[in-house]
Amino acid sequence: MSFAKLDAHGHSLSALEHALSILGVDEATAMASGGGEQRAETMASLSGMLHRQATDSKLAQWIADAKAEDLTTEQNIAVAEFERNYINMTCLPADFVERKMRTSMRSEQLWRTARPNGDWEAFRPALEGVVEMVREEAAMRAEVLGLAPYDALMEQFDPGNRTSDITPVFAALKAFLVDFLPKALALQQERHAKRPLKALSGEYPVERQKALGLEMMQAVGFDMNHGSLSVSDHPFCGGVPTDVRLTTRYRTDEFLPALMGILHETGHGLYEQNLPKAWAHWPSGKARGMSLHESQSLFVEKQIGRNPAFWQFALPHLARHLGEDWSIEDLLPHVHLIKRGKIRVDADEVTYPLHVILRYELEQALLSGELEVRDLPEAWDTKMRDYLGISTIDDPKNGPMQDVHWPSGAFGYFPSYTLGAMMAAQQWAAIVADHPGANADIAAGDLGALNTWRRERIWHRASMGSTPEILREATGESLNPAHFIAHLEARYGV
């Protein structure tokens, strides 16, 4: 029976994925510094095994045969996902894959040396090489998948996401934000004038921050029997669904960034922990994609964690762990602080989408050839001034050189962040429509009803549909910018 062969293949791939994931966590949290070179060789070798197994030509036959077998609905969906993965992984010739890996690695290395000095001219040739390569890659993927080139790139990160759906939504959001941002900033200034920002700085030992973080993780539903929290230079959510490894980093003079980081990663972790167990080794049993994943982290960070109701619940815990007796009026202005800035990763939820839309537009222009790399700094600057009122023309380090995505060859990934934020707001609106007591529940620290909704409609769906399908079935409508806009208006408006 061919499905049984696919099933065994799924176990084998999952074992290699499990190993790679835990080795990655170990590298960031436990590895001795001198162990890096050998670890990199090991991971390359295991990735090679994974790639060879995932692209083995026998799979095409097993998939074709399995389709003719008498299978359950779940098995049929699994076969379709095995096929989708197989096509996405075999649509590039092996020599191109190798060239891509070498090109991206060299370009990323060059970026790491050129970026600290903002040396655009040193970095530009490498980026030109990457863009040339990505154009080729997109054309090849587009041909095999029957999609437009940019859609074919997005398909790797979020099956079903299409520019024809996203562009009008981003256009509406951009129009709103360009108008909304100055008003929200003016309102914030007025509020700060009436009640000056009270500094939250102090001396917060790491152990206390960690205890607070662990308590908040569990309050929003994280299962400590299947996961843990540790420390790394860059916070992440790694590991496997049965053992989700969150990390954060602490500063002892402030607690809010570490705590919000923990909540964000906890959102990713809840999705992983609540995937359906029986199909964990089928592609249809894994988390869907980047934008849906980000909708889960941003749901916990923004919809729950920056919700005033959450702080009603959290304040006594904060006081107990940190010994600080803040009022909610002291805290919320920090939790909701907005600011224009050059750097995407430092942006708040009002300005972040503008950073993303800028990249979404520019990477499409680069891909189509409408824009060339040599003209990128000007194009970037023009959009930064238009959308955020900031110029980066004299500061390429904090302009087009700020992100690792392009130097490493990841085009089509950026929209995931803002799609995630919008989908989180849309899910929240759907929950509140079903369950008007959602805010009161959060204030009482009772996430039961919220998590039941999310478990049934998002987490348990795993990869049983495309990203837009899962969203539509969960919320009753396609991606709709109105919910995110209403969320921002309610939180940052009058």
d(CA 148, CA 232): 39
For the CB of residue 277, give the shortest distance to Zn ion in the complex, in Å.
23
Q: Give the annotated binding-site residues.
A: 264, 268, 294
For the CB of residue 282, give the shortest distance to Zn ion in the complex, in Å.
24
Residue 248 lies near Zn ion (rule: CB under 5 A): no
Q: Which are the contacts of 397, defined by CB distance < 8 A and separation ≥ 6?
A: 115, 116, 117, 118
Strand-strand pairing, 227-231 and 243-248: parallel
Q: Which is nearer to its own copies, 59 or 134 (CB)?
A: 59
Using an 8 Å Cβ cutoff, are 284 and 462 in contact?
A: yes
First-residue to last-residue Cα distance in the chain: 63
**Tokens 């380090």, residue located:** 397
Q: Which is nearer to its own copies, 23 or 443 (CB)?
A: 23
d(CA 384, CA 342): 8
Tokens of 471: 């969203």
For the CB of residue 142, give the shortest distance to its own copies in the complex, in Å.
34
User: From the list Zn ion, its own copies, none, which binds 253 (C-beta under 5 to 8 Å, kind-based)?
Assistant: none
Q: Which are the contacts of 78, defined by CB distance < 8 A and separation ≥ 6?
A: 3, 6, 10, 279, 282, 283, 284, 285
User: From the list Zn ion, its own copies, none, which binds 240 (C-beta under 5 to 8 Å, kind-based)?
Assistant: its own copies
User: From the list Zn ion, its own copies, none, which binds 147 (C-beta under 5 to 8 Å, kind-based)?
Assistant: none
Closest by CA to 373, choosing from 332, 416, 398, 407, is 407
d(CA 52, CA 37): 23
Q: Which is nearer to its own copies, 242 or 408 (CB)?
A: 242
Q: Which is nearer to Zn ion, 188 or 266 (CB)?
A: 266
Residue 265 bears catalytic tag: yes
User: From the list Zn ion, its own copies, none, which binds 436 (C-beta under 5 to 8 Å, kind-based)?
Assistant: none
For the CB of residue 349, give the shortest distance to Zn ion in the complex, in Å.
13
- Segment (H or E) for 34: none
Largest CA distance in the chain: 73
User: From the list its own copies, Zn ion, none, which binds 41 (C-beta under 5 to 8 Å, kind-based)?
Assistant: its own copies
Closest by CA to 13, choosing from 65, 85, 102, 74, is 85
Using an 8 Å Cβ cutoff, are 213 and 228 in contact?
A: no
Q: Which is nearer to its own copies, 145 or 280 (CB)?
A: 280
From 83, 137, 155, 265, active-site residue: 265
For the CB of residue 35, give the shortest distance to Zn ion in the complex, in Å.
22
240 φ/ψ angles, rounded to the nearest 5 degrees = -135, 160
- Segment (H or E) for 248: strand 243-248
Q: Give the annotated binding-site residues for Zn(2+).
A: 264, 268, 294
400 φ/ψ angles, rounded to the nearest 5 degrees = -70, 0
User: From the list its own copies, Zn ion, none, which binds 73 (C-beta under 5 to 8 Å, kind-based)?
Assistant: none
d(CA 25, CA 14): 16
Using an 8 Å Cβ cutoff, are 45 and 39 in contact?
A: no
Q: Which is nearer to its own copies, 37 or 95 (CB)?
A: 37
User: From the list Zn ion, its own copies, none, which binds 297 (C-beta under 5 to 8 Å, kind-based)?
Assistant: Zn ion
Distances (CA, A) of 315 to 327, 440, 491: 8, 15, 19
User: From the list its own copies, Zn ion, none, which binds 38 (C-beta under 5 to 8 Å, kind-based)?
Assistant: its own copies
d(CA 111, CA 414): 18
Q: Which is nearer to its own copies, 26 or 165 (CB)?
A: 26
User: Binding residue for Zn ion (CB under 5 A) from 297, 303, 398, 426?
Assistant: 297
Residues that bind its own copies (CB under 8 A): 11-12, 14-16, 18-19, 22-23, 25-26, 29-35, 37-39, 41-42, 45-46, 49, 223-228, 230, 239-245, 280
What is the CA 113 to chain-centroid distance, rounded?
Answer: 26
Q: Which is nearer to Zn ion, 294 or 381 (CB)?
A: 294
What b/e string do you get for 278-298 counting C-beta neighbours within 10 Å, with b at 16 or more?
ebbbbbbbbbbbbbbbbbbbb
For the CB of residue 220, give the shortest distance to Zn ion in the complex, in Å.
15
For the CB of residue 276, give the shortest distance to Zn ion in the complex, in Å.
22
For the CB of residue 302, give the shortest distance to Zn ion in the complex, in Å.
11
**Torsion sign (Cα): 480, 482, 485, 486:** negative
> Which residues sit at the interface with Zn ion, rule CB under 5 A?
297
The catalytic residue positions are: 265
